[in-house]
Amino acid sequence: MNKIDKAIETQMKNIESKTGKSLEELTRFILASKLSKHSELRDMVREKFQLGYGDANMLVHVARGSANLNSSSSAPAEIEAAVDRIYSAKKELLRSLHAHVMKEIHKLGEFEIAPKKAYLSLRRKKQFAMVGPGTKGRLEIGLNMKSVPGTERLEELPPGGMCQYRVFLNRPSDVDQELIGWIRTAYESAV
């Protein structure tokens, strides 16, 4: 069992302990709710069982069979649908650049992909990157890492945001060793 599988197993045991319900009982409750949106299910579970955001979020993923333990094999249809939605209309031109970046990120190892409304959140134990359309027709990569000096290209962001840094990409050649190095640093620190 890899580290991610073990962490989720431990989290599920803790959720069972907190709620006094088995995973099977919790799954039946979630699937019987008639709600279809992940956010609605998560909020319902938080309220009903007094769980924190992270526990409720993971429980809904597990119950719906989309825990994304391995980004290359879990819930590909859900991820693909999110990518279709994110890169629609004017943002469609960024889709091939997104695919190029993701191909390189997949080479780093296992991680989960959590589709959001306007970007993909890439997570190990915690979020290490965000990938999505940015301003001015560019692809934006947000990175979570510490003690890396900012540069003209690696923009430091104010404290308290979703990421500490961001990089904008305009073309496939922007996916270079410097960028992959920053992503690797963020990936390796997200354990």
Answer yes or no: are the C-beta atoms of 115 and 82 closer than 8 Å. Answer: yes
What b/e readout covers 78-104, taking b as 16+ CB neighbours within 10 angstroms? bbeebbeebbeeebeebbebbebbbee
- Do both 41 and 102 map to the same domain? no
- Do both 116 and 179 map to the same domain? yes
Task: Give pLDDT tens digits for 27-77.
Answer: 889 888 888 788 889 999 999 999 998 888 889 888 877 444 443 333 577
Looking at 63, 90, 105, the residue that finishes a domain is 63
Give CA–CA dist 171/11, Å, rounded. 40
Task: Give pLDDT tens digits for 134-147.
Answer: 999 999 999 999 98
Full DSSP string of 124-159? SSSEEEEEEE-STT-EEEEE--SS----SSSEE--T
Planar angle of CA 162, 186, 174, nearest 5 degrees: 95
Residue 71 lies in a domain: no
Average pLDDT value for residue range 112-129: 92
- Do both 42 and 97 map to the same domain? no
- Do both 135 and 51 map to the same domain? no
- Do both 100 and 155 map to the same domain? yes
pLDDT at 68: 42
pLDDT at 184: 97
Average pLDDT value for residue range 118-144: 95
- Token pair for residue 149? 């000096």
Report the helix count and the strand count for the chain, using DSSP H and E: 7, 6
pLDDT at 1: 55
Q: Which domain holds residue 10?
A: 3-63
Compute CA distances 95 → 14, 103, 163, whole Å.
Answer: 39, 12, 22
Residue 93 has pLDDT above 90, yes or no: yes
What b/e readout covers 126-156, taking b as 16+ CB neighbours within 10 angstroms? ebbbbbbbbeeebbbbbbbbeebeeeeebee
pLDDT at 2: 57
Looking at 63, 84, 111, the residue that finishes a domain is 63
The total domain count for the chain is 2
- Do both 184 and 97 map to the same domain? yes
pLDDT at 187: 97
Give CA–CA dist 24/29, Å, rounded. 9
pLDDT at 140: 98
Residue 3 has pLDDT above 80, yes or no: no
pLDDT at 138: 97
- Do both 56 and 97 map to the same domain? no
Task: Give pLDDT tens digits for 172-184.
Answer: 999 999 999 999 9
> What pTM value is reported for the model?
0.63
